[in-house]
Amino acid sequence: MTVESDTISHLLTHIKLLLCRKTAMMAAAEAGLYSEAIRHFSKIVDGRRGCSPQVFLAECYMHRAAAYKSSGRITEAIVDYNRTLALDSSCIEALNTRASLFETIHCLLIRFTILNA
Protein backbone atom coordinates (compact mmCIF):
# COMPACT_ATOMS: atom_id res chain seq x y z
CA MET A 1 0.00 0.00 0.00
CA THR A 2 2.87 2.41 0.71
CA VAL A 3 4.28 1.84 -2.79
CA GLU A 4 0.97 3.01 -4.29
CA SER A 5 0.93 5.92 -1.88
CA ASP A 6 4.45 6.93 -2.89
CA THR A 7 3.58 6.63 -6.57
CA ILE A 8 0.48 8.79 -6.18
CA SER A 9 2.41 11.33 -4.12
CA HIS A 10 5.15 11.50 -6.75
CA LEU A 11 2.59 11.93 -9.52
CA LEU A 12 0.78 14.72 -7.67
CA THR A 13 4.08 16.49 -7.03
CA HIS A 14 4.94 16.24 -10.72
CA ILE A 15 1.55 17.63 -11.76
CA LYS A 16 1.89 20.51 -9.31
CA LEU A 17 5.35 21.33 -10.70
CA LEU A 18 4.06 21.28 -14.29
CA LEU A 19 1.15 23.57 -13.42
CA CYS A 20 3.42 25.99 -11.54
CA ARG A 21 5.79 26.19 -14.51
CA LYS A 22 2.89 26.68 -16.91
CA THR A 23 1.50 29.48 -14.75
CA ALA A 24 4.92 31.16 -14.62
CA MET A 25 5.27 30.86 -18.39
CA MET A 26 1.86 32.32 -19.08
CA ALA A 27 2.56 35.25 -16.74
CA ALA A 28 5.91 35.89 -18.46
CA ALA A 29 4.31 35.77 -21.91
CA GLU A 30 1.52 38.14 -20.89
CA ALA A 31 4.15 40.55 -19.52
CA GLY A 32 6.02 40.45 -22.83
CA LEU A 33 8.98 38.55 -21.35
CA TYR A 34 9.14 36.06 -24.21
CA SER A 35 12.63 34.66 -23.51
CA GLU A 36 11.52 33.95 -19.93
CA ALA A 37 8.33 32.29 -21.21
CA ILE A 38 10.36 30.18 -23.64
CA ARG A 39 12.69 29.12 -20.82
CA HIS A 40 9.76 27.99 -18.62
CA PHE A 41 8.11 26.01 -21.42
CA SER A 42 11.43 24.47 -22.42
CA LYS A 43 11.78 23.15 -18.89
CA ILE A 44 8.38 21.51 -19.21
CA VAL A 45 8.83 19.90 -22.62
CA ASP A 46 12.51 18.97 -22.17
CA GLY A 47 11.93 17.42 -18.74
CA ARG A 48 8.75 15.54 -19.57
CA ARG A 49 10.15 12.02 -18.96
CA GLY A 50 7.15 10.43 -20.68
CA CYS A 51 4.66 11.05 -17.89
CA SER A 52 2.99 14.24 -19.12
CA PRO A 53 -0.29 13.97 -21.01
CA GLN A 54 -0.03 14.56 -24.77
CA VAL A 55 -2.71 17.26 -24.71
CA PHE A 56 -0.79 19.16 -22.02
CA LEU A 57 2.46 18.89 -23.99
CA ALA A 58 0.71 20.01 -27.18
CA GLU A 59 -0.57 23.08 -25.38
CA CYS A 60 2.92 23.79 -24.02
CA TYR A 61 4.47 23.52 -27.48
CA MET A 62 1.79 25.81 -28.86
CA HIS A 63 2.37 28.48 -26.21
CA ARG A 64 6.15 28.24 -26.61
CA ALA A 65 5.65 28.61 -30.38
CA ALA A 66 3.63 31.78 -29.76
CA ALA A 67 6.45 33.13 -27.58
CA TYR A 68 8.98 32.30 -30.30
CA LYS A 69 6.77 34.06 -32.85
CA SER A 70 6.41 37.13 -30.66
CA SER A 71 10.18 37.31 -30.23
CA GLY A 72 10.72 37.08 -34.00
CA ARG A 73 12.08 33.53 -33.99
CA ILE A 74 9.93 32.28 -36.86
CA THR A 75 11.76 29.02 -37.56
CA GLU A 76 11.56 27.87 -33.95
CA ALA A 77 7.88 28.85 -33.87
CA ILE A 78 7.13 26.72 -36.93
CA VAL A 79 9.00 23.76 -35.41
CA ASP A 80 6.94 23.99 -32.22
CA TYR A 81 3.67 24.36 -34.13
CA ASN A 82 4.65 21.18 -36.01
CA ARG A 83 5.25 19.45 -32.66
CA THR A 84 1.88 20.68 -31.45
CA LEU A 85 0.19 19.22 -34.50
CA ALA A 86 2.07 15.92 -34.14
CA LEU A 87 0.55 15.58 -30.68
CA ASP A 88 -2.87 17.10 -31.50
CA SER A 89 -3.63 17.16 -35.22
CA SER A 90 -6.96 18.92 -34.66
CA CYS A 91 -5.49 22.07 -33.07
CA ILE A 92 -6.95 24.80 -35.29
CA GLU A 93 -4.94 27.58 -33.63
CA ALA A 94 -1.66 25.82 -34.41
CA LEU A 95 -2.75 25.16 -38.01
CA ASN A 96 -3.82 28.76 -38.61
CA THR A 97 -0.79 30.35 -37.02
CA ARG A 98 1.65 28.01 -38.76
CA ALA A 99 -0.01 28.81 -42.10
CA SER A 100 0.33 32.51 -41.35
CA LEU A 101 4.03 32.05 -40.57
CA PHE A 102 4.57 30.18 -43.83
CA GLU A 103 2.89 33.06 -45.69
CA THR A 104 5.17 35.53 -43.88
CA ILE A 105 8.26 33.57 -44.88
CA HIS A 106 7.05 33.39 -48.49
CA CYS A 107 6.46 37.17 -48.61
CA LEU A 108 9.90 37.83 -47.12
CA LEU A 109 11.54 35.54 -49.69
CA ILE A 110 9.75 37.30 -52.55
CA ARG A 111 10.78 40.72 -51.20
CA PHE A 112 14.39 39.53 -50.79
CA THR A 113 14.42 38.13 -54.32
CA ILE A 114 13.07 41.37 -55.80
CA LEU A 115 15.55 43.52 -53.89
CA ASN A 116 18.48 41.36 -54.95
CA ALA A 117 17.43 41.01 -58.60
- Residue with the larger pLDDT of the pair 80 and 106: 80
Is the pTM for the entire model greater than 0.85?
A: no
pLDDT at 58: 92
pLDDT at residue number 8: 84
Find the distance separating the first CA and the last CA of the chain, reported in whole Å.
74
Per-residue exposure over 12-34, b if at least 16 CB sit within 10 Å of its own CB, e if not: eeeeeebeebbebbeebbeeebb
Query: What pLDDT is stored for residue 3 in this prediction?
Result: 75
State the average pLDDT over residues 91-106.
Answer: 90
CATH code that applies to domain 2-115: 1.25.40.10
Mean pLDDT, residues 62-88: 94
Residue 47 vs residue 83, higher pLDDT: 83
Give the residue, 110 or 39, on which the prediction is more confident. 39
pLDDT digits (tens, 9 = 90+) for 6-34: 888 888 888 888 888 889 888 999 999 99
